[in-house]
Amino acid sequence: MAETAETVQAPRKTAAGTPAATHWHQRPARRGGTRTRALRVRTSAVLVAAVVLAVLVVPLLFPLDQQAVDLAAKLRAPSLSHPFGTDDVGRDLLLRCVYGLRVSLLVGVVAALVATVIGTAVGALAGALGGWADRAVMRVVDLFSSVPHLLLGIFIVAMFRPGVWPVIISVALTHWLSTARIVRAEVLSLRSRPYIDAAVSGGASRWRVAVRHLLPGVLPQAGLAAVLMVPHAIWHESALSFLGLGLPAHEASLGNMVNSARSSLLAGDWWPTLFPGLFIIVPTLAIAGLAGVWRERINPRRRSELML
């Protein structure tokens, strides 16, 4: 095989005996693709940075009393003093959006991390053990997957009092399944490689093979799955709050805000719905955009599936 590859690659001699100019490793030019991608990376990075900065700095500068209302100023349209307007009990929407985003990010990141740890552990275990253990674990994963995420999430949240932690638990427990599948597939593919054979032959224990050779191989995939999960988790948090099952109603949360804005939307007041909605969509798309670029790095052949 190596020989054929070499004869194909060998520089062709011209009649004069000098090697013809050949470019072996040149990639075919992508029309316009690189520029669009660079723009996407930059926009996503700036947006994510702005979001992180905002949720860290704003609460320090502008403390928010979650329970305070100002009925005299209710449902004001966006103006200089209230750039996003006020809601139906006169609270400033901009400040509540930032606070809501902070909760959403917290839930998203923590839930994604917990789900990734669970998923990686389960997937790696199933893949590394193989046989009936693998089949049993994957049937459990199938069982969980057969129930809609949101339904299962609602079921879990309903068992606790409203608060941040039940939401995190609910999102984490419903989102580890895909990570488990990804990690298991990756472990199965790595497990049959000759370098694992070489490690076994070199006297490595099961534990050492798993920790030194298998786990480092799946970490990029697991990390990517974690980042891609953050937007999902944020959407779930919003959905649970929107359904009234997430955070307590007085607390600033994007889902709560969209929910309480429903009545005023029917009356023609668009801002209490639009701005929290944008605060859900834009940061999640920015995170997904960055994750998509990472996925392209890891697996350039799957480019077409990336766009989120």
Partner 1 sequence: MLELCAVTAGYDRARPVVRDVSLRVEAGEAVGLLGPSGCGKSTLARVAALLHRPDAGTVVLDGRPVSGYRHRATPAERTAYGVVFQQPRLSADPRLRLADLITEPLRATGRRTEAPTRLAELAPTVGLSSDLLSRRPHEVSDGQLQRACLARALVLRPRWLICDEMTAMLDASTTAALVAVVEDYRRESGAGLLAVGHDRVLLERWCDRTVGWGELGSSGAGG
Instruction: Give residues in contact with partner 1 (CB under 8 A).
Output: 1-2, 193-195, 197-206, 208, 212-213, 216-217
Number of Cβ within 10 Å of residue 12's Cβ equals 7
Between residues 70 and 197, which has the closer beta carbon with respect to partner 1?
197
Distances (CA, A) of 102 to 98, 245, 268, 279: 6, 18, 28, 11
Q: Give the integer Cα–Cα distance in Å for 108 and 84.
A: 24
Shortest Cβ distance from residue 203 to partner 1 (Å)?
Answer: 4
Tokens of residue 136, six digits? 């049993």
Shortest Cβ distance from residue 138 to partner 1 (Å)?
Answer: 20
Between residues 26 and 192, which has the closer beta carbon with respect to partner 1?
192
Shortest Cβ distance from residue 2 to partner 1 (Å)?
Answer: 5
- Where does residue 264 rank: exposed (0-12), middle (13-18), buried (19+ CB within 10 A)? middle
At residue 73, what is the residue type? Answer: A
Contact of 236 with 171, CB cutoff 8 Å: yes
Between residues 13 and 206, which has the closer beta carbon with respect to partner 1?
206
Between residues 210 and 287, which has the closer beta carbon with respect to partner 1?
210
Between residues 35 and 297, which has the closer beta carbon with respect to partner 1?
297
Between residues 8 and 267, which has the closer beta carbon with respect to partner 1?
8
Contacts 24+ apart (CB under 8 A), 273-278: 275/84, 275/85, 275/93, 275/94, 275/97, 276/93, 276/96, 276/97, 276/100
Shortest Cβ distance from residue 127 to partner 1 (Å)?
Answer: 15
Between residues 160 and 195, which has the closer beta carbon with respect to partner 1?
195
Shortest Cβ distance from residue 131 to partner 1 (Å)?
Answer: 12
Q: What phi and psi values does residue 130 have, to the nearest 5 degrees?
A: 70, -170
Number of Cβ within 10 Å of residue 258's Cβ equals 23
Shortest Cβ distance from residue 292 to partner 1 (Å)?
Answer: 24
Shortest Cβ distance from residue 22 to partner 1 (Å)?
Answer: 20
